[in-house]
Amino acid sequence: MFDIKFPVIGLSPMDGVTDAAYRFFTNKEGKPDITFTEFVHVIGLCRGGERLWQDFIFHDTERPVVAQLFGAEPEYFYHAAKIVCELGFDGVDINMGCPARTVTEHGAGAALIRTPELAQEIVRQTRKGVQDWFETGEVTGIEDHIRARIPQMKAQRRMLAERNAVPFKHYSQGDERSLLPVSVKTRVGFDSIVVSDWVKYLLEVEPAWLTIHGRTLKQLYAGQADWDAIALGVQTVDGQFPVLANGDVKTYDDVQRVLTHTKAQGTLVGRGTYGNPWWFKHVQQLKEALAAGSPVPEMFTPSWPAAKQTMLDHAKLHVELKGPLSYVQMRKNLAWYVSNIPDANELRRKLVLSNSVEELEEILA
């Protein structure tokens, strides 16, 4: 799995949250070992939905950066995988865990736990798409006007890279062909825990790694993630590929606990990073402490002036990438940034009612 030193500690995909600006700042202020995009529907991608292509904007600092796809149509995974390769991503992840009814009623996301043969075929077709693209460089199944988006996306990435020059380690230039790993992210069951049986199906198609969120579909995001169930998944995989444990990891102590409990090779952190692009700042020290068996380091807390600057920069990049109307999406991030500040009710109220970067500048002045 790339050349990441275990345990892998990465940023989990979150639709409506881990967009390009969120990922950019999470990788600038800290450095997750791996970053995932929001999930993108395979048919929408092939048909050129503008919003979906926006979800696949990324910056080179995020590398290794993995594009996540969802759907229930293997033939579209084949074509979508080629697009992901051509856009210069470092991996393709398949969502088999989303519990949203709009997704599962079409047989996608966590519904695939109930149709394991279809899930297997999706992995095979995705891998075939990656392999065919690697051999031929051809993108198929999309119309010419959509194909024209690909060089535009690459140019946008270069523009971002040049303007926001920050040191980073190259995993790939994104312009030369490499055989991308195909991974899966899933849950421990549909309405009950069936993780062992389910994982056995996935073993047959050998994903490059597997992320297991310790909840069933029925649990949505409620209750505690079941780390015992994740441990069962790790046991079933039995070292054939890395497993990343996911769910309710909020602090560095949690990282240590989940890894000890599940014996997984890493973890992905989702909601714990809300309003905290500094979450991964001390992650390398954390990994060293875990290896040495010494106490985990403190998490980083920025000064208020530094936090304000990041909030403003985040809002500016968000609007630049998605347009002025998208400012409303930024409000939740602003509220999260101040969620741990005591007596900040008035500030929070102003932030969630703000309508533009200019207003934000005034509020934070």
Does 249 help bind ligand FMN (rule: CB under 6 A)? yes
Complex with ligand FMN: residue 139 or 184, whichever CB lies closer: 184
Does 73 help bind ligand FMN (rule: CB under 6 A)? no
Does 14 help bind ligand FMN (rule: CB under 6 A)? yes
Complex with ligand FMN: residue 54 or 178, whichever CB lies closer: 54
Strand partners, 39: 68
21/357 Cα distance (integer angstroms): 14
Complex with ligand FMN: residue 139 or 202, whichever CB lies closer: 202
Residue among 128, 125, 29, 37 at smallest CA distance from 89: 37
Among 1, 17, 45, 46, binds ligand FMN (CB under 6 A): 17
Distance separating the N- and C-terminal Cα atoms of the chain: 44
Number of chain residues interacting with ligand FMN (CB under 6 A):
23
Complex with ligand FMN: residue 139 or 244, whichever CB lies closer: 244
Does 270 help bind ligand FMN (rule: CB under 6 A)? yes
Pairing status of strand 65-70 against strand 91-96: parallel
Among 19, 38, 73, 132, binds ligand FMN (CB under 6 A): 38
177: left (phi over 0), alpha (psi -120 to 50) or beta: beta
Exposure string (b/e) for 215-245, b if CB count within 10 Å is 16 or more? bbbebeeeeebbbebbbbbbebbeeebbbbb
Residue range at the interface with ligand FMN (CB under 6 A); choices 8-16, 46-54, 170-178, 296-304: 8-16
* Site for ligand FMN, residues 75 to 114, rule: CB under 6 A: 95, 97-98
Complex with ligand FMN: residue 38 or 86, whichever CB lies closer: 38
Among 243, 248, 308, 351, binds ligand FMN (CB under 6 A): 248
Neighbouring C-alpha atoms within 13 Å toward the C-beta of 182: 30
CB of 248 to ligand FMN, least distance (A): 5
Does 185 help bind ligand FMN (rule: CB under 6 A)? yes
Strand partners, 266: 8, 244
Does 13 help bind ligand FMN (rule: CB under 6 A)? yes
Does 213 help bind ligand FMN (rule: CB under 6 A)? yes
**Please, which residues have CB within 8 angstroms of residue 282's CB and are 6 or more apart in sequence?**
30, 252, 297, 298, 299, 300
CB of 93 to ligand FMN, least distance (A): 7
Residue among 317, 99, 43 at smallest CA distance from 217: 99
**Do residues 280 and 31 touch, judged by C-beta distance below 8 A?**
yes
Q: Which residue has the tokens 């088999």?
A: 96
Complex with ligand FMN: residue 88 or 247, whichever CB lies closer: 247
Burial of 46 from C-beta contacts in 10 A (0-12 / 13-18 / 19+): buried
Among 26, 27, 61, 68, binds ligand FMN (CB under 6 A): 68
Does 15 help bind ligand FMN (rule: CB under 6 A)? yes
Residue among 354, 352, 339, 266 at smallest CA distance from 307: 339
* Site for ligand FMN, residues 305 to 364, rule: CB under 6 A: none
Does 262 help bind ligand FMN (rule: CB under 6 A)? no
By the criterion CB under 6 A, which residues form the site for ligand FMN? 12-17, 38-39, 68, 95, 97-98, 185, 213, 221, 246-249, 269-272
